[in-house]
């Protein structure tokens, strides 16, 4: 709540979004729908009742997701699966489209709800229960710097076959992938998040990859566990309907790569181009020069005339 | 013998290569799917549950992770790299996994009031072109100059030559030239009430060369000192008196113009003519009187300084 209060001071609550200053205009433009979107912000909050495990888990995931995440300190007495209005309100205030809601009660101990929003309405929500948890501080090792783009690995057949797991895969990619960049520093590929789906459970491990020398250019990988390690169990899900899901995936036309006309590629990768020519007069087509067939003047013409003269009386005779 | 040794060498080279690659190769039943744009790898291989239970969970998971990460790194290293400020950077392709957007795509903004009005009226946006080379005018000027040079006539080169777009300065210059080209070189040309005196157009200062006639320069400097020394004021009385008369004439005409204009407006049209006529008559008398007085006064008071 403290963070929310801080935000309240900076962000003026204006019912109709009108900007009086250039700074305000820039701020509103940043939050407006765009062609290429900003990196998704996550809001991490606690429910009515939380246990030590849950609070620590939330803090660790906040550390993984920094700086594009906000951690609320105060408890919010809401139930996302029943009523998502307060979630939507918070997301509008902080311009976040991902959320993580942690709670604890007798029926659902150590509960984490991962969710995402589209246009400030809930799109997907997946509830995971923490069965075993080892926090960042418990594992003594040197950590990765904050804000490194992690490599994600999803292992297990379930991530490919089951619908719930497929959505979970998409949601976790969305949550942890970080900013989309055109290039990455090779030495900075340090952080690896590994998710394994096995027997209805999902194991999340976080490692630091060490690039060792191998004989060739590509290095050999050695892993060192750093980060929080979770054993999740999949509980309830609230997945978006198909048409809402489709609408959320609709990309603006401007982002499609422009097709160059008259250029095609075949299966081997050869590039073909097409030239459009005007209609050609085949009679005047330039072919090989056949000098012998050319019309000749002078003695040749006289000879031809003589030949003609000879033939014509013959024909008259026949007639 | 030689052939055998060559074969041996090749075989050995192959073995070495294989050993080198051993450290980075990973055996998997099914190939992994990669989305390098997002740095994601999807492993769909079956996980041996028995093995998972036998080993310690964490160790099993770690070895699995290591293998998968190795394959992902191998795939990343296949992409082109470049050097950016002492750092080697790999260029990532576009991400392939389609993830939902956070907000709907932007709607085209509604047309503004002006845009709607322009559409209604059919006004199109015209781009203001930069200054275009005006061939015609420059040609014309050069042509006239050449003619003048051939016939040894002096060419004014100002305002009289036709140009497509004449700027304010050009027009002002043309007006000034026209004014001066009267029989009396523009001395008696009236000016409009708010017109400013023409700037020194055309008259260029002539400077003596730096190292020229030394005696001439010496003489001029001495003359200058003599003038500065003398107690008598250097004043051409004739010139001063004429100038003053001209100034007075000008002021009178300006005042008459102002008076005539103001009274005409105030009184209305019916009484304007009469008063205007009277004003003109009065002005004429006054002027005649003034002119008559001027020269005699000037001649008499040759020694006196003129009115200042």
CA distances to A30, A34, A175 from A39, in Å? 11, 12, 10
**Interatomic CA distance for residues A24 and A18, integer angstroms:** 9
CA-wise closest residue to A152 among B49, B29, B32: B32
Judge whether A4 lies within some domain: no
**Quick check: A194 and B23 CB within 8 A?**
no
Judge whether A42 lies within some domain: yes
Contact criterion met (CB below 8 Å) for A113 and A168: no
**Interatomic CA distance for residues B20 and A220, integer angstroms:** 10
Confidence grade of residue A303 (pLDDT, cut at 50, 70, 90): low
Q: Which residues does chain B have within 8 Å of residue A205's beta carbon, measured at their own beta carbons?
A: 58, 61-62, 65
State how far residue A229 is from chain B, nearest Cα, in angstroms: 10
Q: Which residues, in sequence order, are bridge partners of residue A185? A: B89
Q: What would the pLDDT profile of A173-201 be if each residue is shown by its tens digit?
A: 999 988 888 888 888 888 999 999 988 88
Q: Which residue of B has its CA nearest to A179?
A: B38
Other C-beta atoms closer than 10 Å to the C-beta of B169 total 8
State how far residue A56 is from chain B, nearest Cα, in angstroms: 21
Judge whether A203 lies within some domain: yes
Q: Can you give the residue range of the structural domain that contains A172?
A: 37-179+186-251
Long-range contacts of A314-317 (CB under 8 A, 24+ apart): none
Q: Which residues does chain A have within 8 Å of residue B98's beta carbon, measured at their own beta carbons?
A: 249
Residue A293 DSSP label:
G
Sheet of A183-185: strands edge to edge? A183-185, B87-91, B81-84
Q: Which residue of B has its CA nearest to A95?
A: B102
Residue A32 DSSP label:
S
Give A236's contacts (C-beta < 8 A, 6+ positions apart). A81, A126, A127
Contact criterion met (CB below 8 Å) for A208 and A166: no
Confidence grade of residue B188 (pLDDT, cut at 50, 70, 90): confident
Give the least confident one: A21-25, A207-211, B32-36, B285-289. Answer: B285-289
**Closest CB to A170 among B47, B99, B106:** B99
3-state secondary structure of A79: coil
**Interatomic CA distance for residues A259 and A164, integer angstroms:** 36
Q: Percentage helix, strand, coil, to 5, in chain A?
A: 30, 30, 40
Could you give the dihedral angle defined by the CA atoms of residues A92, A169, A51 and A108, in that order, rounded to the nearest 10 degrees? 100
Q: What would the pLDDT profile of B100-156 be if each residue is shown by its tens digit?
A: 888 888 888 888 999 999 989 988 888 877 777 666 677 788 888 888 888 876 655
The angle at the Cα of A292, spanning A286 to A294, to the nearest 5 degrees, equals 60
- What is the 3-state secondary structure of chain B? CHHHHHHHHHHHHHHHHHHHHHCCCCCCCCCCEEEHHHCEEEECCCCCHHHHHHCCHHHHHHHHHHHHHHHHHHHHHCCCEEEECCEEEEECCCCCCCCCCCCCCCCCCCCCHHHHHHHHHCCCCCCCCCCCCCHHHHHHHHHHHHHHHHHCCCCCCCCCCCCCCCCHHHHHHHHHHHHHCCCCCCCCCCCCCCCCCCCCCCCCCCCCCCCCCHHHHHHHHHHHHHHHHCCCCCCCHHHHHHHHHHHHHHHHHHHHHHHHHHHHHHHCHHHHHHHHHHHHHHHHHHHHHHHHHHHHHHHHCCCCCCCC
Q: What is the pLDDT of residue A32?
A: 87
According to DSSP, the β-strands at A121-134 and B87-91 are unpaired
Judge whether A294 lies within some domain: no
Examine the pLDDT at B19 and tell me if it is beyond 80: no
3-state secondary structure of A50: coil
Q: What is the pLDDT of residue B257?
A: 86
HSE-up of A32 (CA within 13 Å, CB side)? 15
High-pLDDT (> 90) share of chain B, %:
10
Judge whether A267 lies within some domain: no
**Interatomic CA distance for residues B197 and B150, integer angstroms:** 36
Contact criterion met (CB below 8 Å) for B41 and B30: no
Q: What would the pLDDT profile of B23-46 be if each residue is shown by its tens digit?
A: 778 888 888 889 999 999 999 888
Judge whether A138 lies within some domain: yes
State how far residue B55 is from chain A, nearest Cα, in angstroms: 15
Judge whether A93 lies within some domain: yes
**Interatomic CA distance for residues A174 and B99, integer angstroms:** 7
CA distances to A4, B9, B19, B20, B108 from B12, in Å? 68, 5, 11, 12, 67
According to DSSP, the β-strands at A191-198 and A151-155 are parallel
Q: Which residues does chain B have within 8 Å of residue A173's beta carbon, measured at their own beta carbons?
A: 38, 40, 97, 99
Examine the pLDDT at A222 and tell me if it is beyond 60: yes
B interface mutation test: which of A116, A175, A203, A221 has the most B CBs within 10 A?
A221
CA-wise closest residue to A115 among A129, A125, A102, A127: A125
pTM of the model as a whole: 0.59
**CATH number of the domain that residue A158 is part of:** 3.40.50.10480
Task: State the sign of the Cα–Cα–Cα–Cα dihedral B232, B234, B236, B237.
Answer: negative
Distance from chain centroid for Cα B62: 66
Contact criterion met (CB below 8 Å) for A164 and A127: no
Examine the pLDDT at B290 and tell me if it is beyond 70: no
- B49 token code pair: 């549950």
Examine the pLDDT at B79 and tell me if it is beyond 50: yes
Give A248's contacts (C-beta < 8 A, 6+ positions apart). A118, A123, A240, B100, B101
Q: Which residues does chain A have within 8 Å of residue B72's beta carbon, measured at their own beta carbons?
A: 151, 153
**Interatomic CA distance for residues B134 and B156, integer angstroms:** 20
Examine the pLDDT at A5 and tell me if it is beyond 70: no
CA distances to A69, A95, A107 from A77, in Å? 20, 21, 16
High-pLDDT (> 70) share of chain A, %:
87
Judge whether A303 lies within some domain: no
Q: What is the pLDDT of residue B160?
A: 59
Distance from chain centroid for Cα A188: 20
Q: Which residues, in sequence order, are bridge partners of residue A116? A: A98, A124
**Quick check: A37 and B101 CB within 8 A?**
yes
- The tokens 């050449």 sit on which residue? B146
Q: What is the pLDDT of residue B288?
A: 45
Residue A249 DSSP label:
H
Distance from chain centroid for Cα A67: 19
Q: How many domains does chain A have?
A: 1
Which has the higher per-residue pLDDT, A224 or B165? A224
Q: Does residue A133 sit at the B interface (CB-CB below 8 Å)?
A: no
Q: What is the pLDDT of residue A173?
A: 93
Give the least confident one: A130-134, B5-9, B167-171. Answer: B167-171
Q: Does residue B65 sit at the A interface (CB-CB below 8 Å)?
A: yes
**Interatomic CA distance for residues A88 and A93, integer angstroms:** 9
**Closest CB to B100 among A32, A118, A192:** A118
Q: What is the pLDDT of residue B3?
A: 61
**Quick check: B40 and A151 CB within 8 A?**
yes
Q: What is the pLDDT of residue B29?
A: 86
Q: What is the pLDDT of residue B292?
A: 44
């Amino acid at each position: 709540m403290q963070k929310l209060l801080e935000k309240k001071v900076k962000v003026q609550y204006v019912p109709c979004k009108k900007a009086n200053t250039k700074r305000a205009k820039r701020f509103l433009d940043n939050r407006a729908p765009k062609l290429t979107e900003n990196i998704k912000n996550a809001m991490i909050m606690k429910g009515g009742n939380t246990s030590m495990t849950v609070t620590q888990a939330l803090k660790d995931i906040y550390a993984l997701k920094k700086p594009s995440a906000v951690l609320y300190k105060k408890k919010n007495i809401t139930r996302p699966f029943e009523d998502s209005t307060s979630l939507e309100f918070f997301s509008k205030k902080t311009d976040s489209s991902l959320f993580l809601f942690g709670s604890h009660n007798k029926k659902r101990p150590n509960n984490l709800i991962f969710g995402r929003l589209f246009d400030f309405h809930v799109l997907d929500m997946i509830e995971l229960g923490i069965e075993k948890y080892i926090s960042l501080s418990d594992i003594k090792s040197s950590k990765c710097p904050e804000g490194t783009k992690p490599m994600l690995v999803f292992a297990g057949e379930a991530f490919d076959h089951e619908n719930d797991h497929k959505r979970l895969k998409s949601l976790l990619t969305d949550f942890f992938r970080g900013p989309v960049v055109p290039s990455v520093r090779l030495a900075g590929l340090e952080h690896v998040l590994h998710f394994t789906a096995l027997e209805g459970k999902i194991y999340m491990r976080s490692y630091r990859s060490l690039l060792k020398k191998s004989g060739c250019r590509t290095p050999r990988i050695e892993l060192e566990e750093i980060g929080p390690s979770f054993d999740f169990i999949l509980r309830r899900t609230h997945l978006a309907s198909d048409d809402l899901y489709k609408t959320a995936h609709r990309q603006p036309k401007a982002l499609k790569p422009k097709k160059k006309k008259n250029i095609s590629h075949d299966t081997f990768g050869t590039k073909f181009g097409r030239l459009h020519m005007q209609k050609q007069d085949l009679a005047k087509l330039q072919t090989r020069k056949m000098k012998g067939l050319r019309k000749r003047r002078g003695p040749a013409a006289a000879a031809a005339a003589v030949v003609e003269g000879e033939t014509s009386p013959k024909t008259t005779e026949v007639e | 013998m030689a052939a055998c040794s060559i074969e041996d060498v090749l075989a050995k080279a192959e073995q070495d290569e294989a050993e080198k690659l051993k450290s980075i190769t990973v055996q998997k039943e099914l190939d992994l799917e990669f989305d390098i744009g997002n740095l994601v790898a999807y492993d769909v291989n079956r996980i041996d549950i028995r093995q998972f239970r036998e080993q310690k969970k964490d160790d099993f998971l770690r070895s699995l992770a290591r293998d998968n990460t190795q394959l992902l790194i191998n795939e990343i290293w296949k992409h082109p790299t470049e050097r950016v400020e002492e750092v080697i950077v790999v260029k990532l392709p576009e991400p392939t996994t389609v993830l939902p957007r956070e907000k709907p795509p932007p709607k085209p903004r509604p047309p503004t009031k002006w845009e709607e009005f322009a559409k209604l009226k059919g006004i199109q946006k015209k781009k203001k072109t930069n200054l275009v080379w005006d061939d015609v005018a420059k040609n014309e000027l050069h042509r006239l100059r050449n003619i003048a040079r051939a016939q040894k006539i002096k060419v004014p080169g100002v305002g009289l030559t036709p140009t497509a777009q004449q700027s304010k300065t050009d027009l002002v210059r043309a007006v000034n030239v026209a004014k001066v080209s009267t029989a009396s070189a523009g001395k008696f040309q009236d000016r409009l009430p708010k017109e400013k005196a023409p700037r020194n157009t055309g008259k260029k200062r002539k400077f003596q060369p730096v190292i020229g006639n030394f005696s001439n320069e010496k003489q001029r400097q001495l003359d200058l000192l003599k003038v500065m020394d003398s107690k008598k004021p250097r004043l051409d009385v004739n010139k001063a008196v004429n100038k003053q008369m001209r100034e007075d004439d000008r002021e009178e005409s300006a005042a008459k113009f102002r008076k005539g204009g103001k009274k005409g407006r105030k009184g209305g049209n019916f009484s304007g003519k009469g008063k205007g006529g009277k004003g003109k008559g009065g002005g004429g008398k006054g002027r005649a009187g003034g002119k008559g007085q001027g020269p005699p006064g000037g001649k008499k008071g040759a020694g006196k300084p003129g009115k200042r």
